[in-house]
Homo-oligomer: A and B are copies of this chain.
Amino acid sequence: MESETKSEIIDATNRVLCEHGYAGLTMRKIADESSLTTAAIHYHFDTKEELLNAFLDDLIERFKTELASEASDPRERLTAFLDAVFTPTNPDADGFPVAIMELKAQAPFQGLFRERFLDLDDMMREAVAEIVADGIDNGHFEEADPNDVARLVTTTINGSHVRQVALGEPLDETRHLLENTLELHLGWRPGSEVVA
């Protein structure tokens, strides 16, 4: 598939998903949101699930790029990580976190979705564990198990996502909480390198 066509289909999927949710996502609506026909979309993706798998894959790739930091100081990298996860990916679309929550609720029935969410979790945990290990090596962070800290961070991020959708709670509430907890674990508070 030409990557331009693929991008166009994925962008249209994103818009339809944010506006109509998982149940309302149809090839027809995606065609209406793009310059392609439903036949052309079906040619590239047999099913709605394959299309959403490509959508999640694209999301993970973009997030990976966003997380790739130029900084070498693990403190800056940890703050940049929190900035990336607690900044809305799709600020114009209120429906985006809801749509992702719906796809998570589908994961027990859609093996491809579950694989993508596991990929995303692995990617995030590896990124955090590496930063924490570097920070301990450099003496910036206190001794801790990098994998335990990484699990704590991703689980808290998962919690912030539910709270945003179910309770309408701002993401910053959880970010603040996570910063407190990281300070206890690492002896260092994300964001405090700016002040120092």
Contacts and interface: CB of A to CB of B under 8 A. Distances in A.
A163 B161 CA distance: 11
A98 B102 contact: no
Sort chain A's interface into a size bin: 35 or more
Q: How many copies does the complex hold?
A: 2
A128 to B, nearest CB: 13
Interface string A78-102: 0000000000000000100010011
B117 A167 contact: yes
A162 B155 CA distance: 9
Interface in A102-144: 102, 104-105, 107-108, 113-114, 117-118, 121
A174 B173 CA distance: 20
A38 to B, nearest CB: 23
A177 B151 contact: yes
A151 B173 contact: yes
13 contacts: A94-B108, A104-B166, A105-B166, A107-B168, A113-B166, A117-B166, A118-B167, A148-B177, A155-B159, A155-B174, A156-B159, A157-B159, A158-B158
Q: Which 9 A-B pairs have the closest CB atoms?
A: A159-B159, A104-B166, A155-B159, A158-B159, A158-B162, A101-B105, A117-B166, A107-B166, A184-B184
Given A104-B165, A155-B174, 13 more contacts: A23-B23, A101-B104, A102-B102, A105-B105, A105-B166, A107-B168, A113-B166, A121-B163, A121-B167, A148-B180, A152-B180, A158-B159, A181-B181
